[in-house]
Amino acid sequence: MGIFIVLEGIDGAGKSTQAKLLKLWLEERDYEVVLTKEPTDTPFGKLIRKLVLTGGREGIIDGAKISHEAEALLFAADRAEHVDKLIKPALESGKVVISDRYFYSSLAYQWARGLDLEWLIDLNRFAIKPDLVLLLDLPVKESMKRIRTRSIKSEFDKIVELQKKVRENYLKLAERFPEIKIVNAMEDIDGVHRQIVALVENLLEK
Ligand SMILES: Nc1ncnc2c1ncn2[C@@H]1O[C@H](COP(=O)(O)OP(=O)(O)OP(=O)(O)O)[C@@H](O)[C@H]1O
Ligand SMILES: Cc1cn([C@H]2C[C@H](O)[C@@H](COP(=O)(O)O)O2)c(=O)[nH]c1=O
ipTM of the complex, rounded to two decimals: 0.98
Domain count, the chain: 1
State what percent of residues in the chain have pLDDT above 70.
92
Q: Which of 11-15, 150-154, 196-200 has the lowest mean pLDDT?
A: 150-154
pLDDT tens per residue across span 61-81: 445 568 899 999 999 999 999
How many angstroms does the Cα of residue 15 sit away from the middle of ligand 1?
A: 7
Q: Which amino acid is at 156?
A: F
Buried b (16+ CB within 10 A) or exposed e, 73-112: ebbbebbeebbeebbeebbeeebbbbbbbbbbbbbbbbbb
- Ligand 2 atom having least distance to the Cα of 101: 1
Predicted TM-score of the model (pTM): 0.95
CATH classification of the domain holding 195:
3.40.50.300
**Structural domain boundaries enclosing 195:** 3-205
Q: Is 8 in the pocket of ligand 2 (CB under 6 A)?
A: no
How many angstroms does the Cα of residue 16 sit away from the middle of ligand 1?
A: 7
The answer on whether 164 is annotated among ligand-binding residues is no
